[in-house]
């Protein structure tokens, strides 16, 4: 998989999680839901960056892929009864991974020949 594949898959999965999490009333107005929605927007904006098609770009994108795996695991294991604290912690970790990727991509330039 390339970094682009990681980002595209993470975007699809975060959108599905967002839809599923909106069914929990205690999460609906929580600020972490806004963070999760923002990660979806960021992933949508960066998914076509040329850097993601390179080996260094793949290495940069892996923490995002790993983060969505962990977040999805917490949600899937608990479902509607998932531990709210652990869920929020994983959302924040995922948000941080996406922010780091976004910042790293802004610093990189790929010259296509």
Instruction: Quick: pLDDT tens for 4-62.
Output: 999 999 999 999 998 888 887 777 777 888 888 999 999 999 999 988 999 999 999 99
pLDDT of residue 68: 95
Q: What are phi and psi of 16, to 5 degrees?
A: -65, -40
pLDDT of residue 112: 57
pLDDT of residue 11: 96
Please report the domains of the chain, with CATH numbers, ordered by start residue.
3-107 (1.20.5)
Give pTM, 2 decimals: 0.87
Select from 38, 97, 104 the least CA-distant residue to 67: 97
**Gap between the Cα atoms of 48 and 51, Å rounded:** 9
């Amino acid at each position: 998989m390339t970094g682009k594949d990681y980002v595209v898959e993470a975007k699809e999965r975060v959108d599905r999680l967002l839809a599923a999490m909106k069914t929990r009333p205690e999460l609906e107005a929580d600020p972490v839901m806004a963070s999760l929605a923002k990660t979806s927007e960021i992933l949508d904006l960066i998914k076509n960056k040329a850097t993601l098609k390179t080996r260094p770009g793949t290495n940069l994108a892996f923490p995002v892929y790993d983060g969505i795996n962990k977040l999805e695991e917490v949600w899937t294991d608990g479902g509607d009864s998932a531990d709210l604290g652990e869920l929020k912690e994983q959302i924040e970790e995922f948000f941080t991974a996406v922010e780091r990727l976004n910042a790293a991509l802004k610093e990189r330039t790929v010259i296509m020949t």
